[in-house]
Structure 1
Amino acid sequence: LLHPYILSQISPFFRLISDHIRSQTNSITFETELITMHEELSLPLQNPLYAGVVVVGGGLAGLAAAAYAARSGRTVTLFEKASQPGGRAMTNHRAGFSMNLGAHALYYQAEAGEVLRELGVPYSGKEPPSLFALSGDKLHKLPLSPLTLLRSTLLDAPAKLEMSRVLAAVMLANTQSLQRMSLQEWLEQHVRHSQLRALLLMIARLTTYTNAPELLSATLFIDIMRKAPKVLYLDGGWQTLVDGLRQAALDAGARIVTGARVVAVEHEERVQGVQGV
């Protein structure tokens, strides 16, 4: 049983989902056959009681999981509690404007871009010409390179000096030894200047869509700082990815059931099914 959390649209989790599907073809994930549901749940399926794979949640990760599993030849049913799939990747269109509910920029050179290419999901967009930070009532260009660091008006001289040391530490860090360290712990060890710490926390929130440095992996943040992946602001918003992944899952043979909230997983030694309301 695959249960992608609705916030798992962050790029590395795309790869986690697809790698799991590729490597677990003989595991319990694909052995469950019976889907037990409460009588209140009406499923518009030809054969609603049986599926080789059940995906709970129709966000980006759930749709990608369903597409990969169906492409592997499995019988796949995806349950989404909302009236339409997408989760926090949905886009609302109002008065000619597209407003993303959650994430707003796609790291197309990272894992998400690779998964979208594998599944044949088209998208287009533009890279932002410059990145700025708002401090007080002034905009400052983000110091993301040695040259912009020297010219930046966002940091004072001591913070700039410390940032040069921090960037060196990022490039030299042994990420294997940091697997169990949080970003918060890493910052406490390497960053003393409060202004610089605030900037790095802002970059972490911006690049990972996560405001929990005590839980965020230091390794993930360091990898992002090293790679400095480029982003796209998508034409039509993230809904284009939702629609593309939904179509990829359907084309592969997956069944998508909306308005079906799964509340429990029935299991003993192995998964027996799911219950919904």
Structure 2
Amino acid sequence: MHEELSLPLQNPSYAGVVVVGGGLAGLAAAAYAARSGRTVTLFEKASQPGGRAMTNHRAGFSMNLGAHALYYQAEAGEVLRELGVPYSGKEPPSLFALSGDKLHKLPLSPLTLLRSTLLDAPAKLEMSRVLAAVMLANTQSLQRMSLQEWLEQHVRHSQLRALLLMIARLTTYTNAPELLSATLFIDIMRKAPKVLYLDGGWQTLVDGLRQAALDAGARIVTGARVVAVEHEERVQGV
């Protein structure tokens, strides 16, 4: 069953699983649930699914909503492979930071730290200690520690602190170091996962996941804003 609907609906029936939100996570959840044999309805308040992953096409250019790169060797890539969503793209040859109207190589490893002109000598020395602390950290003991607390313990140089906070914002899409898990940030710094900039923008992922959900039998309802969940011991409706 391939079914994509808009409100208002006549005599709607939403038995089974309801997914609220048609971003990448919602579309993937709908596809997985439908593949397991559940009756699935996804509600998206906008006129089309995608959320912040949508791509605008203007004058021959594909424009994502902000910085978007895919960690294709991490969990997201595994989900896309499992759901049969195709994509292609290019790896950036190098990573740079813009500071003072000048591009500097981003110091994320001992080698790039030596070559980078982004940090002064004291900050470079402290960065080398931070990289060592990242590799030696016991992430199990940091489960309840925020990134802000971890930085306060390990970083004194303001220039280096600004760099690490920038990396955290870019890699996690989170500008709240007091809420962000130190473990998550350390894992990202350790793995330094490779990224792809996708051909055609992230809309290719939206389209692929939407089709995967529909092919599995999910129903997608657009223009539907969920305002409450009704429940008595268990969920009764939305």
How does the TM-score come out when normalised to structure 2? 0.94
C-alpha deviation, 1:146, in angstroms: 1.1
C-alpha deviation, 1:50, in angstroms: 3.2
C-alpha deviation, 1:224, in angstroms: 0.3
C-alpha deviation, 1:188, in angstroms: 0.4
Q: In the alignment, is the contact (CA less than 8 A) between 1:64 and 1:245 conserved in 2?
A: yes
* Candidates 193, 197, 214, aligned match of 1:250: 214
For 1:154 and 1:275, the matched residues in 2 are separated by 56
Percent of residue pairs bearing the same amino acid type = 100
For 1:96 and 1:42, the matched residues in 2 are separated by 29
More off after superposition, 114-123 vs 101-110: 101-110
Distance 1:169 1:64, change over 3 A: same
Q: Which residue of 2 aligns with 1:129?
A: 93
C-alpha deviation, 1:48, in angstroms: 2.0
Higher RCO (CA < 8 A, seq sep 6+): 2
Distance 1:97 1:275, change over 3 A: farther
For 1:261 and 1:125, the matched residues in 2 are separated by 34
Flag structure 2 segments of 5+ consecutive residues without an equivalent.
none
Q: In the alignment, is the contact (CA less than 8 A) between 1:263 and 1:275 conserved in 2?
A: no
* Candidates 145, 158, 182, aligned match of 1:218: 182
Structure 2 SS opposite 1:155: coil
The ranges of structure 1 where at least 4 consecutive aligned residues each deviate by more than 3 angstroms after the TM superposition are 37-47, 274-277
Q: In the alignment, is the contact (CA less than 8 A) between 1:205 and 1:211 conserved in 2?
A: yes
Structure 1 SS opposite 2:42: strand
Q: In the alignment, is the contact (CA less than 8 A) between 1:58 and 1:80 conserved in 2?
A: yes
Distance 1:40 1:78, change over 3 A: closer
Q: In the alignment, is the contact (CA less than 8 A) between 1:41 and 1:276 conserved in 2?
A: no
More off after superposition, 203-212 vs 81-90: 203-212
Structure 1 SS opposite 2:125: helix
For 1:119 and 1:181, the matched residues in 2 are separated by 34
For 1:38 and 1:116, the matched residues in 2 are separated by 20
C-alpha deviation, 1:212, in angstroms: 1.1
1:126-185 deviation digits (Å, cap 9, x = unpaired): 001111111111111111221111121101111111111110000000000000111011
For 2:153 and 2:109, the matched residues in 1 are separated by 22
How does the TM-score come out when normalised to structure 1? 0.81
Distance 1:146 1:264, change over 3 A: same
More off after superposition, 46-55 vs 240-249: 46-55
1:51-101 deviation digits (Å, cap 9, x = unpaired): 200001000000000000000000000000000000000000000111111
Q: In the alignment, is the contact (CA less than 8 A) between 2:90 and 2:196 conserved in 1?
A: yes
Q: In the alignment, is the contact (CA less than 8 A) between 1:38 and 1:275 conserved in 2?
A: no
Structure 2 SS opposite 1:264: coil
C-alpha deviation, 1:210, in angstroms: 1.2
Distance 1:101 1:141, change over 3 A: same
Flag structure 1 segments of 5+ consecutive residues without an equivalent.
1-36
C-alpha deviation, 1:218, in angstroms: 0.4
| Count of residue pairs brought into register by the alignment | 238
Q: In the alignment, is the contact (CA less than 8 A) between 2:5 and 2:222 conserved in 1?
A: no
Distance 1:116 1:143, change over 3 A: same
Q: Which residue of 1 aligns with 2:230?
A: 266
Distance 1:38 1:164, change over 3 A: closer
More off after superposition, 97-106 vs 170-179: 97-106
1:187-229 deviation digits (Å, cap 9, x = unpaired): 0010011111111111111111111111111000000000000
C-alpha deviation, 1:47, in angstroms: 6.5
C-alpha deviation, 1:44, in angstroms: 6.8
Distance 1:41 1:76, change over 3 A: closer
Q: In the alignment, is the contact (CA less than 8 A) between 2:31 and 2:209 conserved in 1?
A: yes
For 1:246 and 1:40, the matched residues in 2 are separated by 10
